[in-house]
Amino acid sequence: MPRGVLFVHNNFPAQFRDLAQTLTRMGVPCCAIGQEHAGGMSGVHVARYRLPRGTTPGIFPLAVRAEADLIRGRSAYDAARALQREGWDPQVIVAHPGWGEVTFLREVFPNAKLVTFAEFYYRGRGLDVGFDTEFFTLDEETIFRAEAKNAVMAMAYAEADAIVSPTEFQASALPIRFREAARVIHEGVDVETIRPAPAEPFALDDGRVITPGTPVITHVNNHMEPLRGLHMLARALPRLLAEVPDAQVILVGDPNRRPYGGNAPDDRSWRDVCFDGVDYDPARVHFVGRLAHDRMLAALRLGVAHVYYTYPFVLSWSLVEAMASGCYVIGSDTPPLHDAVEDGINGRLLPFFDVDALSQAMIDACRNPEASAPLRAAARQTAVDRFDRLKGRAGWIALLRELGLEIPRASRSGPP
């Protein structure tokens, strides 16, 4: 008899960590499929697969992504067969379809309900592609490549019994037939742990310490790339640093990670490209790399403002965590932000390409930090109202029960 949940994610657990932990605490059997690099987690048996080969040399360029996804799909099928031989027969499959692993799972578990996670449906026009043509040429081939990314992913959505998207904007990117089947459930953040707290001294790697009361601007950009507005921030810094002599800037992210928006030209890092020709004081602009989560939160609490810019793309957890921390958010007036920030109510939304507006907003935040207090409080309340992990968890549990998953009504962790 089918029981439990099969999670499918190239890098499991990723977005499914909290849901998988919750279900296992409630006594629901859980297993997972991930590629060989997937980290896994306690209480969830993971079947990892290895790719038998790469894509075919010389293949039609627009088919490269589809072939890669189908190779992964075939490998994930073998992993599913291994789970089946071990006795797994899930009631529900919860899957991220972005890498193709979902494609053939119906052949192994035909009676399982399928929930696909709609993180981002690619478009050749109107979203991230063509939004900023400074670094990325918009031509027919660019448009075709973006659209072709959806080929195998669309097969998964077509087979799904339910589709879940984290935000209204992300759901809106889906074709209309898929959008009609989607429901919005943000996985949320732990707003009880991530909350406003007094700033503490922040030690830099060179031994210097930034003390509370210093006007600090923070920016989290995991891949240090223009897709998250690094070039706009870089160009806004000289005026800030000139007009606020004691201002400090903390930039969190790893320039060596593979960026979402494509690689920088000439084998350079996007950080180098974005700061090329920018006159700034390196003693006051601190590239701190990737940080442990608690240290990142400490940096956020130190800031007088947190800058979050993005192309029309996936909304970052870092924004939600900044809001939960009670940060004053200076954001770009782009569609992903509209699901979280209302200009003048719980933050600021500025035109993405208006460097002077960003400079002025940061200067004002440094000179008069008390003025943002109502916006900080409202940002925190928005995080609690819209992005509380408990609410996201409850939404997922309700959906899984609708699909017939047997979940105890009470457990050690209490009812969801």
Q: What is the DSSP string of 138-180?
A: -SHHHHHHHHHTTHHHHHHHHH-SEEEESSHHHHHTS-HHHHH
Helix (H) or strand (E) holding 270: helix 270-274
Q: How far apart are CA 414 and CA 65, in angstroms?
A: 43
Q: Among residues 303, 141, 128, 89, which one has the least CA distance to residue 216?
A: 303
Q: Which pLDDT score, from 0 to 100, does residue 259 have? A: 86
All structural domains of the chain with their residue ranges: 5-188+388-402, 202-386
Q: How far apart are CA 139 and CA 383, in angstroms?
A: 39
The helix/strand/coil state of 283 is: coil
The helix/strand/coil state of 103 is: coil
Q: How far apart are CA 48 and CA 260, in angstroms?
A: 24
Q: Which pLDDT score, from 0 to 100, does residue 2 have? A: 67
Please say whether the dihedral angle defined by the alpha carbons of residues 322, 326, 328 and 330, taken in this order, is positive or negative.
Answer: positive
Q: Which pLDDT score, from 0 to 100, does residue 410 have? A: 57
Residue 161 contacts residue 182 (beta carbons within 8 Å)? no
Q: Which residue ranges of the chain lie beneath pLDDT 50?
A: 411-416
Please check whether the two domains, 5-188+388-402 and 202-386, share a CATH topology. yes
First to last CA, the chain: 25
The CATH code of domain 5-188+388-402 reads: 3.40.50.2000
SS percent in the chain: helix, strand, coil, step 5: 40, 15, 45
Q: Are strands 248-252 and 285-289 parallel, antiparallel or unpaired?
A: parallel
Q: How far apart are CA 190 and CA 210, in angstroms?
A: 27
Residue range 85-120, pLDDT digits in tens: 999 999 999 999 999 999 999 999 999 999 999 999
Please say whether the dihedral angle defined by the alpha carbons of residues 130, 318, 173 and 107, taken in this order, is positive or negative.
Answer: positive
Residue range 206-240, pLDDT digits in tens: 999 999 999 999 999 999 999 999 999 999 999 99
Q: Among residues 322, 330, 318, 324, which one has the least CA distance to residue 371?
A: 330
Q: Which pLDDT score, from 0 to 100, does residue 282 have? A: 94
Residues 6+ apart with CB under 8 A from 43: 20, 21, 24, 30
3-state secondary structure 20-63: HHHHHHCCCCEEEEEECCCCCECCEEEEEECCCCCCCCCCCHHH
CATH class of the region 202-386: alpha beta
Which residue do the tokens 């921030």 mark? 233
DSSP state of 351: -
Q: Which pLDDT score, from 0 to 100, does residue 413 have? A: 44
Query: Is this prediction's pTM over 0.85?
Result: yes
